[in-house]
């Protein structure tokens, strides 16, 4: 009977080793971009959503809600091109592409500042849709929590409105926000592919794009496995953070 599971050849093994090295070399850049995106989108979305929930159905709420809907509706790749044309080409405030300046040999804090300048535009573009979504979820959760009995009891005891929002209502309103942030990690990587392609960011997104064009199967399989493991790890971290925020979840 023919062997249905042939032994891997030297060419196949070399391709797998090369693909593993490519992924490991590109991984730090993508982790840096996604970490900055998560910090900006989570922090900014919670602040904006808390402001809308603190003063609902007013002018500030209408402005933030409209901008959130607009930011969530704009395609990421199109927003990235607009950001390049306006902030990089027309105003010249930020670099266009890459992780560092190719002609400069910066070291120490100068290198950190160079990477930071190149990180601003991709991180802000990638965080726009996520920030809008987090702001909407935070607003909805905060409005629901403001009508609970424990919030009314805190007001009856003489607590100020800001203390009621920050100390009592907002922590409970953040429970669905944590779940949303963890569950959208895989979608964030999908957005990162288009963002990295526009800004020439040397991460896993551009690697996946080039591997798809060249039909490099070992690299594509490695990237799919890495994203799958990352999504599982993010869901596990979400459950742990959920239990830390709400002790009642530890008893279920």
CA distance 244 to 90: 46
| pLDDT beyond 70 at 84 | yes
Whole-model pTM: value is 0.79
What is the arithmetic mean of pLDDT over 30-46?
88
Tell me the average pLDDT of the chain.
80
* Banded model confidence at residue 1, pLDDT cuts 50, 70, 90: very low
Instruction: Answer for the pair 156, 149: CB distance below 8 angstroms, yes or no.
Output: no
What is the arithmetic mean of pLDDT over 110-126?
85
CA distance 175 to 205: 30
Domain 29-251, CATH: 1.10.3720.10
| pLDDT beyond 80 at 37 | yes
* Banded model confidence at residue 246, pLDDT cuts 50, 70, 90: low
Instruction: Answer for the pair 130, 44: CB distance below 8 angstroms, yes or no.
Output: no
Neighbours of 200 (CB within 10 A): 14
How far is residue 138 from each of residues 44, 144, 174, 230, 248, measured CA to CA in Å? 11, 10, 7, 25, 20
| pLDDT beyond 50 at 109 | yes
* Banded model confidence at residue 111, pLDDT cuts 50, 70, 90: confident
Counting residues of the chain whose pLDDT is more than 70, the rounded percentage is 87
CA distance 235 to 237: 5
CA distance 189 to 90: 29
Q: Residue 13: what pLDDT?
A: 47
Report the alpha-carbon angle 236-224-44, nearest 5. Answer: 55
User: Which tens digit of pLDDT belongs to each residue from 97-108?
Assistant: 777 776 767 677
Instruction: Answer for the pair 174, 245: CB distance below 8 angstroms, yes or no.
Output: yes
Q: Residue 247: what pLDDT?
A: 65
């Amino acid at each position: 009977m023919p062997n249905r599971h042939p032994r891997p050849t030297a060419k196949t093994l070399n391709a797998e080793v090369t693909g593993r090295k490519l992924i490991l070399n590109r991984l730090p850049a993508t982790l840096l971009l996604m970490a900055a995106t998560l910090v900006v989108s989570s922090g900014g979305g919670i602040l904006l959503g808390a402001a809308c929930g603190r003063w609902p159905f007013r002018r500030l709420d209408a402005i933030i809600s409209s901008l959130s809907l607009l930011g969530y509706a704009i395609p990421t790749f199109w927003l990235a091109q607009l950001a390049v044309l306006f902030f990089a080409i027309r105003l010249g405030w930020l670099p266009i592409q890459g992780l560092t300046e190719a002609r400069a040999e910066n070291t120490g804090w100068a290198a950190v500042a160079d990477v930071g300048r190149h990180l601003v535009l991709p991180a802000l573009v990638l965080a726009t849709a996520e920030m809008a979504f987090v702001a909407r979820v935070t607003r909805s959760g905060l409005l629901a929590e403001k009508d609970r009995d424990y919030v009314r009891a805190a007001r009856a005891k003489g607590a100020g409105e800001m203390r009621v929002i920050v100390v009592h209502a907002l922590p409970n309103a953040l429970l669905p926000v944590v779940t949303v942030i963890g569950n959208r990690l895989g979608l964030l990587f999908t957005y990162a592919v288009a963002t990295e392609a526009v800004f020439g960011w040397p991460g896993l997104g551009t690697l996946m794009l080039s591997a798809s064009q060249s039909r490099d199967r070992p690299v594509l399989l490695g990237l799919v496995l890495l994203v799958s493991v990352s999504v599982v790890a993010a869901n596990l971290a979400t459950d742990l953070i959920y239990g830390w925020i709400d002790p009642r979840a530890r008893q279920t």
